[in-house]
Amino acid sequence: DKDNSIRFEPLIIEYREQYFPTLSIQVVRRFLDLSWGEIKVERKNGIRIGNTRIPMDNNGALLINYYGPLGSFPYLSYKEVMENPTAVDQCEDKIVLIGVTVAALHDQWKTPFDKQLPGVEKHANIISNILDGRFLSRPWYMGWVEAFSPAILGIVLTFLFPRLTQRKYLLLTIITLAGIGVLSYLAFAYLNLWFKPFFSFLFIILLLPGLFLAGKSAEPINSRHESDVTGATGITSPERGGSLTLSGDEPGKITDRIGRYIIQEEIGRGAMGVVYKALDPNINRTLVIKTIQFDKLYESGQVRQLKERFFSEAEAAGRLSHPNIVTIYDAGEEAGYSYIAMEYVEGRDLSHFTQGGNLMRIRKVAEVMASVCDALDYAHRENIVHRDIKPANIMIIKDGRVKVMDFGIAKLPSSHLTQTGTVIGTPSYMSPEQVRGAALDGRSDIFSVGVVLYELATGDKPFKGDNISAVMFQITEREFIPPQKLNGAIPNGFVNILDKALKKKPEDRYQTSAELARDLTRFSMEI
């Protein structure tokens, strides 16, 4: 065959309109004591020898059903026989093939089971196939089955894709691949049918990238990260016109305007509220409106103080002007809702790149997070701490630039929420001092950057637990699993950066984001 393996063996040779048997047929005929008249050549059905029909291909060859690698049949060495003549007694009533097994004498053959199978054992396999009636079969329709099965599987998986989440679709694909493999093995082992699953495997594997490129099309909109939708596309929007509401059971409604901004569509929901794509008619600018209903999220005694803090933080964040920070244009109140208006950008947030099949190259991780650190260093010098750095709050936009989102709203507390089970903020990315409720500075964001670096490099979080308390305990008291155990391709230089960024004590970490940015940039240039 094309890979130089022996899978077929001619049983007859046609010469001048006559058929001549090869060694295996001759041996079987003599062993069964058959006359030549008891051997029939049937072009379509193979060879009939006695009562046994041997299937052949169009070239008169048998598809060999190997019993295994070298040693599947017993051997007697020349030396054994010469030193102990009685050894041949065990050959009584057996077929004995005499040949060489020394590689230098060039009777060695590559098979699917062994790279060097002596010719005598190859013939032993063929003869035993005939005597045992143990034939591999490839019916005429098998080629059609192999050709059309990938298309059928593709249609089924494509039909099911819109109805399943990414995780379920991936699980279904893995089960399908495993099922094809198991069925082809069972057909081979028990039915002696040879089905080639290669093209089915190849087709499904090539279909997989569509799963990740299509995005989370089967997820309900209210399960998306609030920050994912700043520039997300392909999200189902509510019908234009009429009023837009935050939820079906909320009495307050937002009309088709928030302040002077014209609502165009709802593009996401999160723990804080609803996110809209809107238009500023005064300057014909598209932007994003994020709404917060404090009365629903916090206890009544906190609302006034929190609103004052919110507008103060939004005002401070609005003064930030950096190419890697999403710009805040405005903040206000409308119909009981507080809102913040910010730059509309299109792209993909980093949570997409924390999944096993989508991990970025380590060099790219360093380059992206160096840009994030540049933005944070600028904000820290303006005395603004982000407090919620996580993959979902970092976006790579269409032109390749990196944007940090949600400055101005991340400082809102999450400890006194009135809605059971609602959590604002992401505990997995908090620094130890943030978990303890201590005063925060820019070094808290540096710890969060370290967590994001770890997750982008390994596809896993450094601090995990079954509940929030367990996660917080891991953050404050436990060390993370060495990242090279999860991804052996991570260089030592990157591990050193992680170690310093994730120190439990702020004074042991990088003291400024600029320092971390410099180390990441230097690493990306050296790797």
Annotation says 388 is catalytic: yes
Q: Of residues 114, 228, 349, 388, which has the active-site annotation?
A: 388
For residue 4, is it left (φ>0), alpha (ψ between -120 and 50) or beta? left
pLDDT at residue 45, rounded to an integer? 67
pLDDT at position 298:
58
Distances (CA, A) of 244 to 226, 240, 256, 258: 17, 9, 7, 10
At 401 the pLDDT is 92
The two counts, helices (H) then strands (E), for the chain are 14, 20
Cα dihedral sign for 298, 303, 305, 310? positive
- DSSP letter string, 199-266: HHHHHHHHHHHHHHHS-STTS-GGGS-GGGGGS--S---PPSSS-EES-TT-S-EE-SEETTEEEEEE
Q: What are the structure tokens assigned to 240, written together?
A: 């234009």
Q: What is the C-alpha to C-alpha distance for residues 296 and 189, in angstroms, rounded to an integer? A: 64
Residues in contact with 164: Cβ distance below 8 Å, sequence separation at least 6, in sequence order: 172, 218
Q: Which helix (H) or strand (E) holds 39?
A: strand 39-42
| Contact (CB, 8 A) for 238 and 275 | no
Q: What is the pLDDT of residue 339?
A: 85
Q: Give the DSSP H/E element, type plus range, for residue 369.
A: helix 362-381
**Per the confidence metrics, is the pTM higher than 0.75?**
no
Distance CA 412, CA 310 (A): 7
Based on the number of CB atoms within 10 Å of its own CB, is 477 exposed (0-12), middle (13-18) or buried (19 or more)? Answer: exposed
Dist CA 366 CA 495 (whole Å)? 12
Q: What is d(CA 424, CA 297) in angstroms, rounded to the nearest whole number?
A: 9
Give the DSSP H or E segment for 176.
Answer: helix 166-190
- Cα–Cα distance measured from residue 506 to residue 135, given in angstroms and rounded to the nearest whole number: 72
Residue 437, CA distances (Å) to 85, 366, 412, 472 in order: 90, 30, 13, 12
pLDDT (tens, 9 = 90+) of the chain, 527 residues, equals: 878 889 888 888 888 888 888 899 999 999 999 988 888 887 666 788 888 888 887 777 888 988 888 889 999 988 888 998 888 888 888 999 999 888 767 788 899 888 889 999 999 999 999 998 888 776 667 667 777 777 777 677 666 655 556 667 677 777 877 887 788 778 776 766 777 776 676 766 666 555 444 444 433 333 333 333 343 322 223 332 333 333 333 434 455 888 888 988 888 776 567 888 999 988 989 998 888 776 655 566 666 777 777 777 777 778 888 999 988 888 888 777 788 888 888 888 999 898 767 899 999 999 999 999 999 999 999 888 888 899 989 999 988 899 998 875 555 444 333 333 333 346 899 999 998 888 889 999 999 999 999 999 999 999 988 888 889 999 999 999 999 999 988 999 999 999 999 999 999 999 999 999 999 999 999 87
Q: How many CB atoms lie within 10 A of CB 280?
A: 17
Q: Which residues contact 95 (CB under 8 A, 6 or more apart)?
A: 27, 31, 124, 127
Q: Which residues of 131-146 are buried (b: 16+ CB within 10 A; e: fewer)?
A: eeeebbebeeeeeeeb
